[in-house]
Structure 1
């Protein structure tokens, strides 16, 4: 009876009293003094020590341990009739509790066991009380005692804790350290979920607990093979760059591209919550931007949809892959290394996957501007030079008249493979439909020419036979074929700008015509009424064609209004008025408006043409690479030596070193503009690193890269960061280089000070005083113009030097 009262008291203590007010220990000692046994358990194996540990009452735990409580007592069904023992062994906990709790605990509702085999240490860990855990460990509790499900106290640590509860997380970290110090197995896994204590530390955002577990030898799982969440998944999902870096330092690089049961990688998890720093760290350790989940969502798709300002993020990532060697840009030994591992995370295998994912993930043409980044453009150029021979063969096949049917079949297979490999991308392109129409018309011509008996009148002095439909089809097919050839020319670096600029001008012209089409149609119908007797305006269709021709300036005024009045006109006065209105409104106003809107900004047209050329090149390269990876090309039908040659042509090295003097000598296939852009990015990256080392902050603007690069191929949206420095952002970007030159000029400035005596005045005491002009120069901020123009006056030079010395952000620099 006293044992039941003790259990009931601990239940009451847990619910209604302060756990550490001292009354618990007094009452426990009182009950024990009247004969209550501390090691007594009820029919379900519950003891007073279980409930004292769960309540977190350390004084009661200490009193029970002194009284001889069994420190490793566990929940179990105790003292059942033998005939029911086998039945209870075959049922789960809930069934047993429903039966036995009514028989043995009626009258006082004690907490029911959550799982068979739980010890007081389990309960103390679950309660989150480090003091109770210390008492139980000192009393000899088994730290690796598993419950029925194989859960040890370490796996139970942190149960019910949320990351926002700082106090609870601190207690959790202390408990983990106590258990690890006592010899707990840090690599044990949960039998149901496969999670470890490292997973729990990552979920609770606890770097301290994770460090403790890793120091104790916690093993990083193999991860992706079983499709379960790895520790790196949890760390990336938490958005903790500290945990991600800690795991990577401990050898978790093989988990960067591991997949969970949904096919998501740690990069997916980080991108979904917008953790830019975690994404950057994972990418630097081999993360694959083209990795897709089971729903075909790539990491690049998630970046464009969940990362704020995705273009700026990708630009920063790509900038970090352009690495100078530290020498001066004017030095012969200056080199720049382009690291393509970000674009080729798997080495020579699938090198166009990331670029393809970028093209698929970009939502609009503005986001396609990222293709102009020097790293991406260089990558595409190098790949293009490896495969341009194949593209040239396709062009030859496309223009061959003698093998029309064969070439049509080849082009159709090529088009079909493109659509099957990337249906979402190719199906909605105008070029795909132009190509398809050209193929269908060419097939009709080839079949009609083989089965019919018609003859082309262009080559024989005879009239075409009754199969004149072939000529009609041929006229359209020839036009579409050469139009397709013009679009194919857009992939060549030298003339690609103009072919693709034509498309954008055509778009603008069509928009203008559709907008003002009503005016043109009105004149066409009016001319059809007025000049109906003329053969050129005989019907509405002829009238529309003639009106469009007249808009170009071909009026034929003498034929429409003859002086000899050979052609009878019904509306003489009205005709001239409407014709004059047509000349002013259509030929002058509308045509000039159309030209102005079509070519309003040549530089923008060149930029768009450049982006379109890179996009077309990337599409062709991705198509060739997908063909190389297809199982048909890896089968026995395809010779091994031919596959090796094809593979070598499709692959490039992931590291590419540029030395400017070699490029100028023609040893590389990089243009001068692209080279200048690469050098600009490399110099700015180096200057930013140097600026952080000497302790002043930057106002970094990507437009400065464009200005430095001269011709400005890479034009990104500017990204401003606010700083508290009086000196302009351009000074911060160029101050390091200018300081070296300034130190060399100090000697000349001092010498000029002694020569230019009339520019300063001396007080009676002999102290030099600055002139008014010198004060004027000193009061002005130091800007870009001070560095880019020669110093004309000595006061100007002295003002610059004094201004630099007074600037707080440059106090650590010797001038």
Structure 2
């Protein structure tokens, strides 16, 4: 249902007034008097509404302010029709007029309606923002086009806010996510046609083209350059438009600036913090900006005020710097214009990209600048399949060692349980024997590692003694990788050393190590239970000490103390039915007695000689029963055969 205006509501309220008893409105005289009095009452009511149309509510807003904030176009039109003023200031911190509120909210319909009622267009807020500034910040090109045609706004086109913002600046004060570049382009076109200066600077020295580059508005940068914007102006912090484009990582804006041919001297310009555009390009992780700078005047060997070169910045702070260097070096290769079959066809390699500025030797540059990135760059340039070496920090190394030994300690604690105790004990004993075995034959392994490092030093696995020793240990288990080690140019001594290694290490040492492990396992069967019981006893003693400590300290919750007390409590007597049917009820019992313990208890109660007598007695009883059964069967068989022979004789007589 459409909302009623003031006149309709007043008419409806008058029409629904209750009629008093005894007044008959059907006669013409009474009907005429009643109609006249209703018109007078309606007029007085409308006069009262009109006088109160600009009254402030409890929030300090007029009815027109409320209609604008709610986006009620019909309400705005009716209020203005009945005399609501678009120049009334609200009693809020902003103290906006309804027109300012509509422009600030980009309520185009309400603003255009109020402009037909000749409002005050020169009104500004407490910070000096005019209607044009507000419309530019709200990105409302329709309102700006209407205001720019008004004579009262001609001076406002060149006005400045308290921050020094021009109308061009106002259109570029939003965040990058809020900016609508198409609307900003239309607004800038309108301001330029109105004669606004595009090179005005705010209190921070920022120009419109600087803000456009910082907001990644590449098309706005291109448009401002066509309007005659000066890209050489610096801010109060000493930054240029090149700094702004690199800071935001906008390669398109940087390319527009470089295409002008005016900013070449700004590529190495330092701001007040001694930072150059290349620093901000690296900080924003923009490889495209870094590439543009290096191709248009900057250099890999260029150093900053701290003595840090460009290539060092790239390798330390850009993960994909190797791809950028690859593209730069590939671009330095050029071919001649002749065909490939022509005798003058040639290829040109341009090394100026890595040749140091100032005439230093190329070797000193590589040692001084590329040393931090030597491992990763060489790995990437040599083969795309090789992984890039990333050095671990001390924190990660300590964390890796701590996690490993933490889980080893957890394994040792699990070895105190009855199920896993023997296996963990076997592991520790074999580990000790293996360590002693390796130490005993360490000289042999070191000898082979040194020989391999000399013979196969061209391979990465044997480049250093450390890597050669690790590779030799890997080869002990059969990972020789023979096809990679030898080739047609391999010396005969290399084959001889490999054969000796296979015989002494892979065959003799490995089998000897396996034999020692098997021998240790057999010896553990006799001593394993004693050592396991010793460890379990130590665990029980430690647990009891912990329980006593918890019981004495009142800091622990009572339910924890009760739980530990219940776990440590052992009944003085327990009855176990050995010969009953096995079930899983023992899983729910408080204390479970292993079957080995039960067998030992049986042997203790019943000695071996007593058991033998019981077995002999049982066997004698079984033999007696078998003898009785056989004698009974024999007598039955004899009787049955006698009856059969008697029947045969009777048959013959007949």
Q: Tell me the TM-score normalised to structure 2 length.
A: 0.46
Q: Tell me the TM-score normalised to structure 1 length.
A: 0.38
Structure with the greater relative contact order (CA < 8 A, sep ≥ 6): 1 or 2? 1
